[in-house]
Chain A
Amino acid sequence: MKIMKESVLFWPARLKGLTLFILDETKVPGQVTYLKVRRYQEAIRAVVDMKTRAFGQFLTVCYTFILEMRKAKGLSRNAQMRLLKRVALAFNRSRPTFPFEEVTSMVLGLAGKVSSSPRFYEDFLCAMEGFLEKGIRAKRYQRAQEAASLIKDGDTILTHCNVSGELPLVAEFCRQHKKRVKFLATETRPYFQGSRLTAWELDREGFDVTLIPDNAVAKVMSDGEVDCVLVGSDRSAANGDFANKIGTFQIALLARYFKVPFYCLAQSSKKLASGRDIPIEVRKDEEILSFAGRRLAPRGVAAFYPGFDVVPHEFVTRHISLDGQMTKG
């Protein structure tokens, strides 16, 4: 697989020796800085504080298992397995919407498979590193390529939140096929992932991007300025429903009203039957009413902040999944 120039958001965590470096996405674009994590409790804190999100959470989980295993070198196999289970439990309790349990179960399953090996420690680390580099990275490249194949020359793509560095890759595949594309990025309140991350990374890689407020989506669609919608997903259900950053459902509904194709970069899962089973995290109202410690609203005002919403499968034109399959919604 030919590695292309990647956005820093594409692989936002790296492990060097006994230190896990997690990109602090709350500081981008002002600073590209990494949190130094040496204990799994610090990794959990980074997740809860939303220092990392989406694919960054997935990487953080996987690398934290590797980190803790490296630190446990020399311990008995039973002690190592107990440690992995402790780490899994802590992640499973961290945030509700992202499928931590599915990721940690997968890692524990992998550990279980090599647990009878005389080289358990080495085999586990080798399997995990291979899974990430050869498995996940290659699959994300393939998914970006599949997405690019749906986009036509001259298209304007509307996106929401941030797809962890995958959008510049989609745009790069389009560029390689001589397809000119433009992006409309919603700012994605209240954390501005669209302003701070998506617009920044696309502009940085030389792609045409225009930032719009979340409330302008119907306006640009009704004016015929959007050819398709492309978003990521935080969690999928077996029937094709998926959860993503709050606001995605609204965009899907509008796309259907204005007959704009709606594409979702997904990771298929059979754990939950439908989107109704996906728990929605409700966060503190201060996260809407204040920004960077500065109060925006008058005293006495309350807020309601659901962090995610669910898009029913019938609103999705195509799911583009990590295994390269494209399925109709």
Chain B
Amino acid sequence: MTKKIPLIFGCPSESFYAKFNAPRAFVAELRPGLEGMKQVSGELLKKGVKPVVICDNMMAFCMERGLVSGVHIFSAQVRGSRALCRTGSLIAAICARHHGIPVVLHKTLKQPSAVSMSLLKIGGIKVASAKIKTYVPALEEIPLDLIDRTVEPFKKEG
């Protein structure tokens, strides 16, 4: 893998797919629901884009090796100087800033809910004991100063 390609972290809206024209893209899998691996990759395939799935913990490695051209994250809401995004977007933004990679914020309607996000299974298969405590935050705030470009105007709240 030698050519730089974009990295998608989160669940885009239709308008993103309609405009996206890269031949290949890294797609973060998005644990625990795997929406990145399943829905986002599926949508990209329909548009003729080849998705290359990575685990959520591989973003910094791909950036450090010079494989990422830009990072796309998604938010339904901006409050003051912060965008509310899918958890993990903050990792993508901080790592991108460290590596000098542009971060683009897109508007989405698809915000994840914390309901039934179980870490104890993957694809219905148990991976950890039911006794283990888990913490699965669905959303986190991204300071807007980590964002290089906002694609669609957000109605600012707060």
Q: A254 at the A/B interface (Cβ < 8 Å)?
A: yes
Residues of A close to B131: CB separation below 8 A: 203
CB pair B31–A254 under 8 Å, yes or no, is no
Shortest Cβ gap from B123 to chain A (Å): 5
Instruction: Please name the residue on chain A nearest to B51 by beta carbon.
Output: A301
**What is the interface of chain B mostly: helix, strand, loop, or mixed?**
mixed
CB pair A298–B52 under 8 Å, yes or no, is no
CB pair B98–A219 under 8 Å, yes or no, is no
Q: A300 at the A/B interface (Cβ < 8 Å)?
A: yes
Interface size on B, residues (CB 8 A): 53
CB pair B55–A213 under 8 Å, yes or no, is no
Residues of A close to B26: CB separation below 8 A: 304
- Contact A195 to B52, CB < 8 A, known contacts A215-B31, A257-B94, A304-B58: no
Interface residues on A, range: 35 or more
Stretch at the interface among B11-19, B38-46, B100-108, B150-158: B38-46
Contacts A/B (CB < 8 Å), 30 sampled: A29-B128, A187-B127, A188-B57, A189-B55, A195-B132, A209-B133, A210-B133, A211-B135, A212-B119, A212-B136, A213-B119, A214-B56, A215-B88, A216-B137, A218-B94, A218-B140, A246-B57, A247-B55, A247-B58, A254-B94, A288-B53, A294-B124, A296-B38, A298-B41, A301-B45, A302-B52, A304-B1, A305-B58, A306-B61, A309-B60
Q: Which residues of B approach A to under 8 Å, CB–CB? A: 1, 26, 28-32, 34, 37-38, 41-42, 45, 50-62, 64, 87-88, 90-91, 94-95, 98, 119-120, 122-129, 131-137, 140-141
Q: Which residues of A approach B to under 8 Å, CB–CB? A: 29-30, 160, 184, 186-190, 192, 195-196, 199-200, 203, 209-220, 222, 246-247, 249-250, 253-254, 257, 285, 288-289, 291-292, 294, 296-298, 300-306, 309
